[in-house]
């Protein structure tokens, strides 16, 4: 009897050892690569996306499709030159099951290329580079945020409807800013206005003074500017310090005042912006999300937190369809393509090109809130722009 018990114990121990070492079990965890900016002018955006993502996962008991998660985190520094190496490490060295990133459109382009070349699953929780859901689209690349030109188009129409006739645009000279101001110009001029000057400075410079002097001399009816994160804080404050906000209204995509109002204070008051989110979006999901986020992180969420949350919500939909086995790619993507998400921004679905379909709100800064004062474009659907899926 004693000998049998011994033998059984030995067998159980051997079995346990074999199972722990088994690659099949090691694969049971889902490996998520977070490639986001954690330093530089977009650091706050990367942190908010990470927080939002992890909040949605926490609401699933910390699991994805029932499996535990290993995170591999990379600070991309919003530096396009370092992006190919960073993303290839995640794909080839760390062997992640899915990559979530990033904020900066230039970095995202390198990520999209690597994802295409290696057939890696990529979820984009911010970068709005238009071509990623256009000619660069792919079955394995999905965006839960926005396209850069969309908020610009919405604000161009708002500005033309307000009767402004002349505008100056101002942005960092890179894809996101150029597509945002390009969208504004297209809609503003369609509505009868004229963009009299398109000003730029290199990313992420914040020496705005010479540009503010030029704006004062041009004296347009309105200024449309694209900046985000630390750069947006400084620009809005410099614009007010130069006294320009008293005579020339400053408008922009919501990134100009999102997650920044605490620091911008008085300088941002009354500003109009367009975006797919605003603190006061009135739905039960937003109320619950804001309460949970504030409880977890002791800060108010912003649009970037929402986008991170939604990237995780979409991934959860995909992972649940395959019980966490993200290797079943076709089923994962199909579940994501057909998901109807209850987002804090409102209902969220995807176009065929994997771009979000959502409302774009008109917002006005009141105190520390981007108050939603209307819907600028209902159910905006990004045009396929040559995407063939």
Which residues here bind ligand BEZ, judged by CB under 6 A?
A: 103-105, 126-129, 148, 176, 228, 255
Distance between CA atoms of residues 331 and 121, nearest Å: 12
Residue 258 CB, shortest distance to ligand BEZ, in Å, is 9
Q: Judged by CB, which is closer to ligand BEZ: 148, or 260? A: 148
Residue 306 CB, shortest distance to ligand BEZ, in Å, is 13
Residue 128 CB, shortest distance to ligand BEZ, in Å, is 4
Q: Judged by CB, which is closer to ligand BEZ: 164, or 257? A: 257
Q: Judged by CB, which is closer to ligand BEZ: 255, or 277? A: 255
Q: Judged by CB, which is closer to ligand BEZ: 151, or 326? A: 151
Residue 242 CB, shortest distance to ligand BEZ, in Å, is 24
Residue 280 CB, shortest distance to ligand BEZ, in Å, is 21
Q: Judged by CB, which is closer to ligand BEZ: 256, or 319? A: 256
Q: Judged by CB, which is closer to ligand BEZ: 252, or 318? A: 252
Q: Which residue is nearest to ligand BEZ (CB)?
A: 176
Residue 173 CB, shortest distance to ligand BEZ, in Å, is 12
């Amino acid at each position: 009897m004693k000998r049998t018990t011994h033998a059984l114990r030995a067998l159980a121990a051997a079995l346990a050892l074999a199972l722990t070492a088994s690659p099949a079990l090691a694969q049971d965890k889902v490996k998520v690569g977070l490639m986001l900016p954690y330093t530089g002018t977009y650091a706050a955006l990367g942190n908010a996306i990470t927080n939002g993502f992890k909040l949605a996962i926490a609401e699933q008991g910390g699991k994805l499709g029932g499996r535990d998660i290993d995170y591999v985190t990379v600070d991309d520094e919003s530096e396009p030159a370092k992006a190919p190496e960073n993303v290839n490490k995640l794909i080839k060295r760390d062997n992640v099951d899915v990559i979530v990133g990033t904020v900066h459109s230039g970095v995202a382009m390198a990520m999209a290329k690597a994802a295409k070349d290696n057939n890696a699953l990529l979820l984009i929780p911010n970068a709005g580079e238009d071509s990623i859901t256009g000619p660069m689209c792919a079955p394995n690349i999905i965006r839960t945020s926005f396209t850069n030109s969309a908020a610009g188009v919405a604000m161009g129409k708002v500005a033309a409807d307000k009767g402004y006739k002349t505008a100056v645009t101002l942005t960092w000279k890179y894809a996101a800013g150029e597509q945002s101001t390009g969208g504004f110009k297209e809609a503003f001029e369609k509505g009868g206005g004229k963009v009299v000057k398109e000003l730029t400075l290199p990313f992420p410079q914040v020496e705005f003074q010479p540009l503010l002097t030029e704006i004062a001399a041009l004296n347009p009816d309105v200024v449309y500017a694209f900046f985000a994160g630390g750069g947006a804080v400084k620009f809005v404050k410099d614009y007010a310090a130069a006294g320009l906000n008293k005579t020339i209204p400053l408008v922009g995509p919501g990134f100009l005042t999102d997650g920044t109002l605490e620091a911008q204070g008085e300088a941002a008051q009354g500003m109009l912006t367009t975006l797919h989110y605003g603190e006061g979006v009135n739905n039960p999901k937003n109320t619950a999300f804001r309460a949970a986020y504030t409880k977890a992180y002791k800060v108010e969420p912003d649009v970037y937190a929402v986008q991170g949350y939604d990237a995780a919500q979409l991934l959860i939909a995909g992972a649940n369809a395959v019980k966490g086995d993200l290797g079943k790619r076709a089923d994962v993507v199909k579940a994501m393509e057909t998901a109807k998400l209850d987002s804090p921004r409102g209902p969220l679905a995807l176009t065929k090109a994997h771009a979000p379909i959502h409302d774009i709100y008109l917002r006005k800064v009141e105190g520390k809130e981007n108050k939603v004062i209307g819907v600028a474009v209902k159910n905006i659907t990004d045009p396929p722009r040559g995407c063939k899926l």
